[in-house]
Amino acid sequence: MSRWLLCCALALSAPALAHPDPDEADGGVDLGDAGPQVLTTVIRAPRPLSAASSFAVRDRDFALRPIASVQDVLRVTPGLVMVQHSGGGKANQYFLRGFDADHGTDVALSIDGVPINLVSHAHGQGFADTNFIIPEVVEKVEVTKGPYFADLGDFDTAGAVNLVSRESFEHSSVSLGIGGAPGHGGVGGRALVIASPGFDGVGATFAAEVGRTDGPFQNPEAWNRFKLFNRLTLHPSERSTLSLVEMSYGANWNGSGQLPARAIEQGLVTRFGALDPSEGGATGRHQLALAYVLRPDEHSELKALVYGALYRFNLDSNFTLFLNDPVNGDELEQVDRRVFLGAKVSYRHTATLGGVRFDTTVGGDLRNDDIHAELWHAAQRERLEVLRSNDVHELLGGLFLNEEISPWPWLRFDAGGRLDVITFAVDDTLPAPVAGAPRSGSSGAFQLSPKASLIVTPLEREQAQLELYLNFGHGFHSNDVRGAFSAPRVSPLARAIGEEVGVRSRLFGRWDFAAALWKLDLGTETVWSGDEGTTEVSGPTNRYGVELETRFELTDWLAADLEVTFTHSQFSTDGANGGGLALAPRQTWSGGLSGRHPAGPGLLRGGVRFFGIGDRPATDDGALVAPGFTQFDLHLGYRHRRFDLALDIENLFNGAFRSAQFATVSRLAGEPAIGATVPAGFSCGRGGRLAPSTDGSFQGCEDVASTPAAPFTVRATVTVFLD
């Protein structure tokens, strides 16, 4: 505990949770005579929290910001920054608590408890593609940070986010949207149909989305996507609920790739151009989940979940251009085919003995992945040579226990932990051995993860509430198990040790504030290897930081919020490694104004939002820098009983900044051949440098390759309610 730093996190969602949702209850205004209506009183109260950085956000809050995809919903998580770097159909790159979590290695994402992260993925460990989710079906976002929670396992190091889907919609509807970036690219569109029929004794919700986006690129993105969401909810008894949820998704797209800074400087390509227009991909995910909740009495609850999914993924990308193959180029095709099955169960019981309240939760989870992964050298999406081909069988199971003890109303103590066991087998299916390819084999590993939290409530009055938190816990992320049979060998489980102290308060019934001091040590670090276009595991790291978050209700219809984070990241064995890890965020910020107000027969809503990330090292030695940015967005909407109109503007001030950025060693088509003498006067650009060479020969240029942020983009949506 001796190296604690201050980290503050203010809970912007708390005031919203205390009020009924005007969208769900027609906003308390007359939305027109639609015949007999059922009036519903919705009571919402935040559940007891165990950490200052944990909270839940209802849809009434994220409905006040531009929502083009579920990634926009995830932005309600303070300090979570997301960027895209290979076409809209691929998983985002996530940054949280000083982690460049790549596509999800240190951020656990789930929907209704079903994990989104994919283990031992062909593109990156923990690959978490949320594009299969229709954003309108998300009702709530549950956020935790740090490895302090016994019920959370793999990938819960920096944090975890669970999306909760709706059981029903108030009205069936049809939506049509159109949008694009004026002066850049083509126009995209989206159609959404939602049906929420009222069957006797059965709740039913059906949603279908079809969309296409070309983006601002000269090589049209052509991101075509198809999504389905189907949910049935039964109540077998007064004390039980049974839910069946199905989701299906298919998509294909083109990518314009990550462009080296020197190529743009030299005028070889514009920032919306492409050096290899054959990049792109296709993917699909079809999953089914069955959830059961039983409350035998007022003191106990049983939850059970089983799920299964089919998944496919193909991605063609070219990070290094002509570094390895000066004739055909360095395009790689990554292939992932898998079936994964899983189950979760938990039992919770509360009791009071001698005036002391005990809240006991015990449970477990199990997940099995059967994977076939391939890596090909390709040109113009034509396969040239197979580089990797593996069958992977991975089974991860965990048991957890948590005991919450409350001797007095103002004091709670959590103690518990997890036992996680992983077993796996890798089969190298290449016809002949390839240097560097994983060998065949089978192995396993386990980890015990203790957890503890102390929560004190020194002040609880109508106009002032204050809670103090102290948290400690071990967690882990799994590594790609193929690394266990590679050289150097990779540990299957990377231990994380986290500590946090924080405060959360609500004053005068309208001002929310929370603060938390956190620190996190990770046993092994997943870092980007630009010359290979893959990730590799490096040494242990430690991080500490400060988070600040606040929300103030200016009036009964207008609120302002602000979140800022400050983080320091470094390798544990080399504290002077350039002042930080490659791409690890040092500062992030977000906030804005949002409100809703009666207007005539309907409800007017709107919000001005911003989010950003500061300059950060692009390389571990800090020699190359990834510049930061701030993006402003605008949302305006009007809801009537019969229709809804929405206008979204992203990148309101048309900022010309980089989105995803990587320090990558590459070679442009006109640059010297690999191994040749470097010509006099040759330059790798203003921000670049020659790749290291033992004999002074040309081995490529290292500079910051990037994908541009979308320019000023307008999107309009019309929704008609059918009942």
pLDDT bucket at 535, cuts 50 / 70 / 90 = low
Residue 38 pLDDT: 32
Element (H, E) at 289: strand 280-297
More confident: 439 or 54:
439
Report the distance separating Cα 337 and Cα 319, nearest Å.
23
pLDDT bucket at 533, cuts 50 / 70 / 90 = very low
**Above 80 in pLDDT, residue 41?**
no
**Above 50 in pLDDT, residue 531?**
no
* 3-class SS of residue 409: coil
Percent of the chain with pLDDT over 70: 90
Question: Each residue of 401-456: pLDDT tens digit?
Answer: 999 999 999 999 999 999 999 999 999 999 888 877 889 999 999 999 999 999 99
Mean local confidence (pLDDT), 308-332: 96
Domains annotated for the chain, with CATH where assigned, are: 14-272+282-322+341-721 (2.40.170.20)
Residue 577 pLDDT: 54
Give the dihedral of Cα atoms 667, 673, 675, 679; nearest 10 deg: -100
Residue 65 pLDDT: 82
Longest dimension (CA), the chain: 85
* 3-class SS of residue 28: helix
**Above 90 in pLDDT, residue 223?**
yes
Token look-up 């919306």 returns 272
Residue 573 pLDDT: 78
End-to-end Cα spacing for the chain: 58
Residue 60 pLDDT: 76
Instruction: Report which of 451, 470, 595 is spatially closest to residue 152, judged by C-alpha positions.
Output: 451
**How many CA atoms lie within 13 Å of 233's alpha carbon, on the beta-carbon side?**
15
More confident: 203 or 404:
404
Instruction: Report which of 500, 385, 369 is spatially closest to residue 97, judged by C-alpha positions.
Output: 500
Q: DSSP for 201-265, please give it.
A: TEEEEEEEEEEEE-TT-SS---EEEEEEEEEEEEEEETTEEEEEEEEEEEEEEE---PEEHHHHH
Mean local confidence (pLDDT), 46-67: 76
Mean local confidence (pLDDT), 332-356: 97
Residue 228 pLDDT: 98
More confident: 233 or 59:
233
**Above 80 in pLDDT, residue 284?**
yes
Percent of the chain with pLDDT over 90: 78
Residue 575 pLDDT: 52
Mean local confidence (pLDDT), 520-528: 79
**Above 90 in pLDDT, residue 52?**
no
**Above 90 in pLDDT, residue 94?**
yes
Mean local confidence (pLDDT), 381-400: 96
pLDDT bucket at 526, cuts 50 / 70 / 90 = low
Residue 142 pLDDT: 94
Question: Each residue of 565-601: pLDDT tens digit?
Answer: 999 999 887 654 555 788 999 999 999 999 999 999 9
Mean local confidence (pLDDT), 164-193: 95
Residue 348 pLDDT: 97
Report the distance separating Cα 365 and Cα 484, nearest Å.
23
Mean local confidence (pLDDT), 183-199: 92
**Which range is least confidently modeled, 22-36, 150-164, 294-308, 568-582?**
22-36
Structure tokens at 511: 């001002």
Name the E strands within 64-214. Answer: 81-83, 93-96, 99-100, 107-111, 114-115, 138-145, 159-165, 173-181, 184-195, 198-199, 202-213
Residue 175 pLDDT: 97
* 3-class SS of residue 538: strand
Mean local confidence (pLDDT), 308-317: 96
Question: Which residues touch 461 (CB under 8 Å, ≥6 apart)?
Answer: none
Token look-up 């080399």 returns 574
pLDDT bucket at 191, cuts 50 / 70 / 90 = very high
* 3-class SS of residue 123: coil
Q: Cβ(572)–Cβ(497) under 8 Å?
A: no
**Above 90 in pLDDT, residue 264?**
yes
